[in-house]
Chains A and B, each alone.
Chain A
Amino acid sequence: MSFLTVITLLLVYQLIGELIVLEWTLPIPGPVIGMLLLLATLLIKKPLAAQMQASTQQILSHLSLLFIPAGVGVMVHLPRLEQEWLAITLALLISTLFGLLITAWIMLLMMKLFKERV
Chain B
Amino acid sequence: MISHSAIWVYLSASPLFGLTLTLLCYLLAVKIYERGRYNPLLNPVALSIVFIIGILLSADIAYPAYFAGAQFIHFLLGPATVALAIPLYYQLGKLKTVWLPLTVALIIGISMSGISAYYIAQWLGASEQTMLSMIPKSVTAPIAMGISEKTGGLPTLTAVFVVITGVLGAALGTWLLKRFKIEDEAVKGVAMGVTAHGLGTARAFQISPQMGAFAGLAMALAASISAFILPLALAFIRG
Q: Interface on A for B, CB 8 Å cutoff?
A: 7, 10-11, 13-14, 17, 27-32, 34-36, 38-39, 42-43, 49, 52-53, 56-57, 59-61, 63-77, 80, 84, 86-88, 90-104, 106-111, 113-114
Contacts and interface: CB of A to CB of B under 8 A. Distances in A.
Interface string B124-164: 11110010001001100111011100100000110111111
B100 A114 contact: yes
A29 B120 contact: no
A29 B146 contact: yes
Nearest 5 pairs between A and B by C-beta?
A99-B113, A103-B109, A110-B101, A87-B124, A69-B70
B76 A59 contact: yes
Contacts, number: 313
Contact of B83 (A17, A56, A110): A56
Nearest to B117: A95
Nearest to A94: B120
B86 interface: yes
B90 to A, nearest CB: 7
B143 A29 contact: yes
Given A35-B84, A87-B126, 16 more contacts: A10-B83, A31-B143, A32-B143, A35-B88, A38-B86, A42-B85, A64-B170, A64-B199, A67-B45, A88-B161, A95-B116, A95-B137, A98-B113, A103-B108, A103-B190, A104-B182
Contacts of A90: 120, 124
B83 to A, nearest CB: 4
B85 A38 contact: yes
A101 B227 contact: no
B73 interface: yes
B53 interface: yes
B69 to A, nearest CB: 9
Contacts of A59: 76, 79-80, 83
A84 B73 contact: no
Interface in B31-46: 44-45
Given A31-B79, A63-B202, A88 B116 contact: no
Contacts of A38: 82, 85-86
Given A65-B26, A66-B74, A73-B156, A95 B163 contact: no
Given A35-B85, A49-B89, A95-B117, A111 B160 contact: no
